């Protein structure tokens, strides 16, 4: 099946270059130059991956990413300026799957797209017929949806799901940063420069957790405090 990539960038030259380049490798590529046109396309078309520039004329890319994450887990690769380290961190915190700085080599972008799509194809990584319960929360692994104690439902990105599942598999155990990276990224899978601390921060925000659930052990790593219950979902 042909994968559909949406390029959201107000630079028409970059959009056309990416469309021409990625099309040669078998991808269907659409372009949007504003946040409004991007949302219209995302809501009415099947999109497998988004390339999102931070600087847009009607809304910054962070706001658009935040809006996308309210209702969709579509993989997103952020495109950022060379010196904008803070922008890259914010993008990851908001739920981006990866980032690439401009100017970039199209071959590196292609490699990152393939890696993100491979991860997307493999998920859900721990079986799609299981529900986990802890401290009043419920996690539906099939839907990649987290229900908070107050009933609020929040979709999880693939990286958030993998990290949460690592904690749920080893509750009460101290997990080093290196161990968490191993658990979240299967052997042989590309791992780009993304700090596990940033991923934990993102997950804490999704959980509305201020350190009660995921406890930081100074110099050691992280420990998941709640008791975890695994419940098989009924077959329908």
Confidence of residue 59 (pLDDT cuts 50, 70, 90): confident
Q: What would the mean pLDDT of 220-236 be, rounded to a whole number?
A: 79
Q: What is the pLDDT of residue 121?
A: 58
- For residues 165-192, give the mean pLDDT: 76
What does the domain layout of the chain look like in residue ranges? Answer: 4-122, 130-232
Domain 130-232 has CATH 1.10.10.10: yes
Q: What is the pLDDT of residues 3-23, one digit of tens each?
A: 999 999 999 999 999 999 999
pLDDT score, position 194? 52
Second CATH level (architecture) for the domain 4-122: 3-Layer(aba) Sandwich (3.40)
Residue 95: predicted pLDDT: 79
Calpha distance 42→3 (Å, rounded): 14
From the list 126, 134, 128, the residue with the least C-alpha distance to 163 is 126
| pLDDT score for 232 | 65
Q: pLDDT for 206-227, tens place per residue?
A: 999 877 899 998 878 999 999 9
How far apart, in Å, are the Cα atoms of 174 and each of 61, 132, 134, 169? Answer: 36, 20, 18, 12
pTM higher than 0.75: no
């Amino acid at each position: 099946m042909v994968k559909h990539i949406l390029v959201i960038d107000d630079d028409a030259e970059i959009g056309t270059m990416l469309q021409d380049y990625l099309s040669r490798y078998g991808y269907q590529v659409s372009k949007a130059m504003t946040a409004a046109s991007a949302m219209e396309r995302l809501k009415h078309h099947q999109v497998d991956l988004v390339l999102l520039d931070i600087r847009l004329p009607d809304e910054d890319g962070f706001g658009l990413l935040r809006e996308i994450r309210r209702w969709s887990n579509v993989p997103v690769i952020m495109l950022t300026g060379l010196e904008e380290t803070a922008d890259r961190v914010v993008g990851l915190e908001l739920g981006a799957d990866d980032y690439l700085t401009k100017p970039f080599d199209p071959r590196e972008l292609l490699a990152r797209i393939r890696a993100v799509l491979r991860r997307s194809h493999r998920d859900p990584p721990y079986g799609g017929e299981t529900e986990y319960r802890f401290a009043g929360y419920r996690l539906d692994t099939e839907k990649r949806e987290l229900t908070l104690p107050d009933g609020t439902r929040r979709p999880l990105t693939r990286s958030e799901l993998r990290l949460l599942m690592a904690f749920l598999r080893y509750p009460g155990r101290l997990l080093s940063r290196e161990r968490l990276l191993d658990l979240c990224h299967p052997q042989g899978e590309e791992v780009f420069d993304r700090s596990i601390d940033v991923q934990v921060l993102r997950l804490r925000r999704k959980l509305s957790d201020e350190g009660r659930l995921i406890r930081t052990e100074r110099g050691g790593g992280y420990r998941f405090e709640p008791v975890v219950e695994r419940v098989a979902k009924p077959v329908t």
